[in-house]
Amino acid sequence: MFPRAFDYHVPATIGETLEQLAADPEETKVLAGGHSLLPMMKLRLASPRRLLDLRKLRGELAYTRAANGGLALGALTTYHDLARAPEVGQRCPVLAEAASAVGDLQVRNRGTIGGSLAHGDPAADMPAVMLALDAQLEAQSPQGSRRIAAADFFQGLYTTALAPTELLTTIYVPAPPARAGASYAKFRNPASGYAVVGVAALVALDTAGKIAMARVGITGVNDHAYRAAAVEQALVGVEPTPEALAAAAAHAADGVDPLEDVYASADFRRHLTRVQTERALRQAVERARAMA
Ligand SMILES: Cc1cc2nc3c(=O)[nH]c(=O)nc-3n(C[C@H](O)[C@H](O)[C@H](O)COP(=O)(O)OP(=O)(O)OC[C@H]3O[C@@H](n4cnc5c(N)ncnc54)[C@H](O)[C@@H]3O)c2cc1C
């Protein structure tokens, strides 16, 4: 399939990109790694009249930096660079692990964290991880910039809180709480590598070894990645025994009507959601204990 004809521009700065985006926001798309947008254009699920290729912004927007005990990540950082950046490995190993688990080498070399988050694919890995890490996403428009909590960002099928005039520029990952561990448990589609179900969990222990706080982000199950609030609530103040983690994980798909497709029925997805949540929680607790 061929996409519809479109105009192609390569803006040289963020300012120029924002200006061009604002000129016709409904008919313009920015192009990052192109691994989601171009297939959608070929299938004519997206038919923008104008593409703004962000390749010249890599100098400004492809980076990983230590910031306030956590990380600042440029939106054009590829999965490959996330997976191998020393500061990501040291400060947020779960992010490096999840980036290594995306698709295949080609996808990881081209695909960007900003493209993944802005696209809002219901089976993408990064949204679940950003939810568990409580990341803040910075968007710029000609009107200025704003930060959006990951918990407010993913709103529906391929729908996020980004306005058509906004460019996602930076992802801020806060420093983890004391005695915290995190894990990402993914059941991969064997062909594409996308998550049939992916669960990111961050667990912090108190000085007595009980769970002080937990955040759980889930992808692949709903029409958008979500925080499993019932699991999180069930864990607070609890001794993290295998039984307690399993009991909490049983709530992972509460209030969700799981997606159904050729890869997994709704029942199988619900089952996988529980199993992967339990796995992610167990490993997060082990890692938290190692930090205590
Ligand atoms: C074979 C294959 C396997 C894959 N496997 C996985 C997988 O296992 N896990 C996974 O999570 N993903 C997977 N993907 C998707 C891949 O990760 C994409 O790269 C990613 O979803 C989109 O990133 P991108 O940089 O390619 O964005 P693009 O395709 O360039 O853009 C996607 C959308 O986001 C918008 N956009 C991009 N950057 C910005 C920005 N900075 N600000 C505002 N809007 C922006 C674009 O306008 C477009 O609408 C796979 C893709 C393929 C082709």
Q: Going by CA atoms, what residue is nearest to atom 38 of ligand 1?
A: 115
Q: What is the pLDDT of residue 192?
A: 87
pTM above 0.85, yes or no: yes
Q: What is the mean pLDDT of residues 108-128?
A: 98
Contact 180, 204 (CB under 8 A): yes
> 70-74 and 64-67 as β-strands: parallel, antiparallel, unpaired?
antiparallel
Residue 292's pLDDT band (boundaries 50, 70, 90)? confident
Q: What is the pLDDT of residue 285?
A: 98
Q: What is the mean pLDDT of residues 177-202?
A: 96
What is the average pLDDT value for the chain, to the nearest integer?
97
Expressed in angstroms and rounded, the spacing between residue 286 Cα and the centre of ligand 1 is 32
| pLDDT tens readout for residues 243-288 | 999 999 999 999 999 999 999 999 999 999 999 999 999 999 999 9
Q: Where are the domains of the chain?
A: 63-173, 180-291
Q: What is the mean pLDDT of residues 160-172?
A: 98
Ranges of beta strands (E only) in the chain are 7-9, 28-31, 50-53, 64-67, 70-74, 136-141, 144-149, 154-156, 159-160, 167-173, 180-188, 195-205, 211-219, 226-227
- CATH number for the domain formed by residue range(s) 180-291: 3.30.390.50
Residue 221 near ligand 1, beta carbon < 6 Å: no
Asked if pLDDT for residue 109 goes beyond 80, the answer is yes
- CATH number for the domain formed by residue range(s) 63-173: 3.30.465.10
Residue 200 near ligand 1, beta carbon < 6 Å: no
Residue 123's pLDDT band (boundaries 50, 70, 90)? very high
Token reading at 230: 């019932």
| pLDDT tens readout for residues 52-78 | 999 999 999 999 999 999 999 999 999
> What percentage of the chain has pLDDT greater than the value 90?
97
Q: What is the mean pLDDT of residues 48-55?
A: 98
